[in-house]
Amino acid sequence: MEKKTPNKYNICLTYGTFDMFHFGHLSLLLRCKNQCDQLIVGVATDKYNKFKNKESFQSENQRFNFINMLPLVDKTIYEHNFSIQWKKDYKKYKANAIIMGDDHVGELDYLIKEGLNIIYLKRTTGISTTDIKEKLKCKKYSFFIQEKWIETKNIFNRINKNINKNDHFSILGISNKIEAHYELYQFWNNSKKVDLIFFFDDIEEINLLKRKINYWKKLKG
């Protein structure tokens, strides 16, 4: 149901949790951006996820910061409750369309009656946050911490050289202070052994994620 047109929309909205950001997320956002000149992304809050009976490994701040630093995203907002805020967002940002993954096909058709353009894009097959959580549950994991951009190439070389992807789940935490985020994705695309990348403000965020992962592995093991 992906819209095939040479004419891009001016402004598009999309929403999601974006927990444990992976290639499927990136692919979807790239195709969202291909539909418009300006892409606004709504990141679900922890409170909204709890309302939907969803639990994220990463806090809303971590997820928000990651999406906000993607070069292809023009603006990041919080999603507090889609059914309540979509009309306000659509009007406030003068959007031309709302884009969602095809796992929501039909769910937003009622908005067409409100005069909205709704686009459903195909999800990337073979990868999802659920799949990543299952892999993490069954594998050992290794954390790599990067606080300076100059460390990027060496860290990715270490990951590619030393980590057996069949045995390990590789997590790379990167300081929010690093500016060269666009180059980061080039390295990520070249390193198929990095399962999860996230940005952090301080070391306590990393320790919190470690505790959460250990608790979840123990609970699910």
The residues assigned a catalytic role are 52, 54
Write down the residue that tokens 């598009």 correspond to.
12
What is the C-alpha separation between 113 and 136, in angstroms, rounded? Answer: 42
Instruction: Give me the sign of the Cα torsion angle 181, 199, 163, 153.
Output: positive
Question: Reduced to 3 states, what is the DSSP secondary structure of residue 26?
Answer: helix
Residues in Cβ contact with 16 at an 8 Å cutoff, skipping those fewer than 6 apart: 25, 41, 42, 43, 44, 79, 101
Instruction: Give me the sign of the Cα torsion angle 61, 67, 73, 77.
Output: negative
Residues in Cβ contact with 128 at an 8 Å cutoff, skipping those fewer than 6 apart: 22, 24
What is the C-alpha separation between 207 and 211, in angstroms, rounded? Answer: 6
What is the C-alpha separation between 177 and 33, in angstroms, rounded? Answer: 25
**Which residues on neighbouring strands pair with residue 42, listed in sequence order?**
15, 77
Q: Are 198 and 170 in contact (CB under 8 A)?
A: no
